[in-house]
Amino acid sequence: MSKPQLLVAMSSVPDLAIDLLRERFEVEVFDFKQASKEEILNKVHGKFGIFCSPWHEIDEELIKNAGSSLKVIGTMSVGYDHVDLIAMKKYGVRLGHTSNISSEVIAETTIGLLIATARRFFEANHALITGEWKDSDIFWMCGRSIRNSIVGIVGCGNIGISIAKKLNSFNISQLLYTSRGEKPEVTIDELVEQSDFIIVSVALNEDTKYIINRKRIAKMKSHAVLVNIGRGELIDQDALIEALRENRIGGVGLDVMTPEPLPLDNPLIKMTNVVLLPHIGSSSIETRTEMAVVTAKNIIAVLDNSAMTKEVQL
């Protein structure tokens, strides 16, 4: 009997995951990034499952085009805002993701980005390599310490909790957070108003889009440092650029932005008080390998009609 067909949307998935999948599926690796929409739509037809990442949009057209054979989308990510959940439900397709596997490593990235932004690492490094090291001024390249500061975390899910645990060793004066689950101790408006450092680590959905909007940016302290490791659309980026231009906030560290990849003519690129990373929150070899294996197992679970390691309830 022939095996069901599975499409892997990128060519860099490790053998460990691909080999697992090949035991149960006819696997085809087809790099969506190198193909037109039409080619992708042709390719998905007749597939049982699709193995993807946040950089592959899974919209209704794609799901519909795959036809009734499509039973599962496995995304190698915590976030699933690139998947049309309504269409998934409508066509009876299950969705697996890799929640929690990458929380620790994303928290490591966040702490790195927070310090790099607060202490101006990239600006300082640029000054050094361009011969602008000023050893005569004791306040040259001074940033702000995290110690004794108020840190606000917007979204205290698994990643937010990992960040908070790591911050615990920094001797901060207060941790503020907002979260969906329990009754938050502050409102988001109070959090942005009171924090010296604001970390956005919330999932993107209809309720959280532009959670950091123009009004909230206007409420921030003039030295506040804002870090986003969730999704670009959590922040009104145009309002953020204006605030940075007018020096109304201290600095910004972004691992996620709009759009991705960010065009080189975007004003954020040239701003000295901005640190930009190319969405590498979970980019450690160990974590990405584990995420790929769990994604493969999630997909296989659907073939076996059993529970996934992590399934999105549609």
Residues 6+ apart with CB under 8 A from 185: 176, 177
Contact with ligand GLV (CB under 6 A): which of 79, 96, 157, 253?
79
Contact with ligand GLV (CB under 6 A): which of 32, 74, 102, 149?
102
110 binds ligand GLV, rule: CB under 6 A: no
DSSP-assigned beta bridge partners for residue 274: 252
Neighbours of 291 (CB within 10 A): 24
149 binds ligand GLV, rule: CB under 6 A: no
| Interactions with ligand GLV, residue window 209-268 (CB under 6 A) | none
How far is C-alpha 209 from the chain's CA centre? 14
201 binds ligand GLV, rule: CB under 6 A: no
74 binds ligand GLV, rule: CB under 6 A: no
The CA distances from residue 77 to 29, 245, 271, 305, in Å, are 18, 33, 30, 22
Least distance (Å) between residue 228 CB and ligand GLV: 11
- CA angle, 196 then 199 then 202, to 5°: 150
Region near ligand GLV per CB under 6 A, out of 60-68, 74-82, 111-119, 145-153: 74-82
Least distance (Å) between residue 80 CB and ligand GLV: 8
Q: Is residue 126 flagged as an active site residue?
A: no
160 binds ligand GLV, rule: CB under 6 A: no
- Which residue lies nearer to ligand GLV by CB, 83 or 225? 83
Contact with ligand GLV (CB under 6 A): which of 7, 73, 78, 276?
78
Residues 6+ apart with CB under 8 A from 272: 123
157 binds ligand GLV, rule: CB under 6 A: no
- Which residue lies nearer to ligand GLV by CB, 138 or 285? 285
- Which residue lies nearer to ligand GLV by CB, 53 or 195? 53
- Which residue lies nearer to ligand GLV by CB, 244 or 275? 275
CA distance 139 to 294: 49
- Which residue lies nearer to ligand GLV by CB, 97 or 216? 97
27 phi/psi in degrees, rounded to 5: -95, 130
Contact with ligand GLV (CB under 6 A): which of 74, 155, 251, 281?
281
- Which residue lies nearer to ligand GLV by CB, 77 or 237? 77
Beta strands in 54-205 (DSSP E): 72-75, 94-96, 150-154, 174-178, 197-200
Least distance (Å) between residue 284 CB and ligand GLV: 12
Taken in order 272, 278, 283, 285, the sign of the CA dihedral is negative
Contact with ligand GLV (CB under 6 A): which of 149, 195, 282, 295?
282
For residue 223, which of 192, 191, 249 has the smallest C-alpha distance?
A: 249
54 binds ligand GLV, rule: CB under 6 A: yes
Q: What 8-state DSSP symbol labels residue 69?
A: T
- Which residue lies nearer to ligand GLV by CB, 43 or 82? 82
**Cβ 155 vs Cβ 176: under 8 Å:** no
Considering the candidates 56, 82, 97, 279, report the single residue annotated as catalytic.
279
143 binds ligand GLV, rule: CB under 6 A: no
- 3-state DSSP call for residue 41? helix
Residues 6+ apart with CB under 8 A from 180: 155, 157
Neighbours of 236 (CB within 10 A): 20
Q: Which residues are catalytic?
A: 279
Binding site for ligand GLV (CB under 6 A): 54, 77-79, 102, 281-282
